[in-house]
Amino acid sequence: MEKESTVLERAQLWLSGSFDDATKEAVKKLIETNPAELTDSFYRDLEFGTGGLRGIMGVGTNRMNKYTVGMATQGLANYLIMMFPSLNPIKMAISYDSRNNSKYFAGIVAEVFSANGFKVFLFDDLRPTPELSFAIRELGCQSGVMVTASHNPKEYNGYKAYWDDGAQMIAPHDENVIKEVQKITSIDDVKWSGKKENIISIGAEIDRKYLSRVKALSLSPEAISRQKMLKIVYTPLHGCGRKLVPDILSDFGFENIHMVKEQAIADGNFPTVHSPNPEEHDALDMAIKLAEDLHADLVMATDPDADRVGIAVRNHKNTMILLNGNQTAALLFYYILNRWKELGKLRGNEFIVSTIVTTKLLSAIARSFGVEYFECLTGFKFIADVIRQNESKKNYIVGGEESYGYLIGNFVRDKDAVSACALIAEAAAWMADKGNSLFDLLVEIYQKYGFYKEGLISVIRKGKSGAEEIQQMMMNYRKTPPAIINNSRVIIIKDYLLLKETEVATGHEKPIKLPKSNVLQFILEDGSIISVRPSGTEPKIKFYFGVLEKLSDLSEFEKTEQRLDEKIAGIIASMKLK
């Protein structure tokens, strides 16, 4: 009863405060007709996390709306004013994707920053996340905001906050911004009255500069010129990839690009897909159907803010198959390092970066080319941090993570599906020039380094009770970790929250030299790796599985893959996740 009273009191504040009439009417309706939704809308404040805001749109303190966006933005503005006291004006870049209300929220963010005396560069239309990152660096901004909820369902929106290097914020800035946002306790604390003279529209010129930098990443222009009619199907999944991906493919020299017309329309309702997430197989159904109709060689799909890309390639049975993020990373990394070596660009001080839950195949590839491999926590902001720490000493080549995000070159500091699409297509042309396919290249990689296979299960638990259940699951794994998984002993436990690695048999511990993160890893005697990580942006807990076997011959590919799939299924069953 006490909890319900608190929720009602919080809701009633929105009836008596300086909120607009439409908001008050919506709150009244929730109070009168939908107590469950009222509770979820008001039981807490929408968290401004280490990556920014993300939540379901609607009225309430726990929803994405004009007021929660404005309050978060004022807190961010206050922190930037503290950090750059001698700058006048402080400069800010803002972009947005195709989601419902993205343009509206971007306008609010621009108004609040301009009201605080900032010089605001606002894109004239939707643009991809990587271009926002590029614009921050290009325009000398101190921060930036990308209004997006990435690949979340249509009910969601949010925004990512960036620092002056074009990367999402990390400690101490992320935590300090959160503290400043928490100090904004009323909408009356927000400077709402924007100054139009402080808001500058940007667009085509930044497009040209960004695409020029991406074009300079090309490693095999001659192969493309010979394979320019390579048949490519691309879908932006109703997002802002439509704005630049076809342009960069054309700039690279490809002349046979086919867009999925129904999905080339920017639409925040994402009417042709259940979820606009290239990690989901269903999201690529229409593109694969078109590819089969056209006998295309390659399918690529980007998410709404065009920072992730999923692909499909033709296998040896001439059937389009979807690759997971680890497989695409392996293809991309191997192609790029191979070409750097062939072109004499490897000088001994190069490095690549990936995350603790991404395939260990990338590490093996790096070693074979004499390239240093860095491993960091999950999230591209940590990859960007490794780049920043090493940029004056070493030469960054490529980074990526299993969740379909990749970055080639250092002029952007977030995952970039625009450049990734261009280099994936180039890799396909390079292989076609040899009379082979990307699938052939994948098999070649497996034969050389081992057949690495990964799996992922996301357990979704919505609402307040769901968040509590996820927290309890992590506590249970720490208190009573499994001793045996799928008939194989757990020999090492890595706890990234306690920053310690424990050898189970001896109890010997050694430190993990990374920032703290709520992640657990179980390494089994048979070489399998299981990682457990609650999502920081969605109501889910993720379980990552990595298994490995040798692949001696192409004829053994299907049998080996089946055994690996069975091993992953055995782990899932053993952990009672299905």
Whether 114 and 172 have beta carbons less than 8 Å apart is answered as: no
Choose among 159, 61, 62, 152: nearest CA to 107.
159
Three-state DSSP state, 200: strand
How many angstroms separate the CA atoms of 93 and 161, rounded? 10
Helix (H, G, I), strand (E, B) or coil at 259: strand
Would you give the distance in Å from CA 573 to the centre of its chain?
28
List C-alpha distances in Å: 275 to 14, 54, 153, 242, 417: 32, 16, 6, 17, 18
Q: How far apart are CA 323 and CA 513, in angstroms?
A: 32
| Catalytic member of 150, 403, 437, 531 | 150
Task: Compute the CA torsion angle 434, 439, 443, 444 (nearest 10 deg).
Answer: 20
- Please say if 150 is a catalytic residue: yes
Q: Distance (Å, rounded) from C-alpha 271 to C-alpha 103?
A: 19
324: left (phi over 0), alpha (psi -120 to 50) or beta: beta
Element at 49 (helix H, strand E): none
The sheet that has 257-259: what strands, in order across it? 257-259, 232-235, 298-302, 309-314, 320-322
Whose tokens are 């390494």? That residue is: 523
- Residues identified as active-site: 150
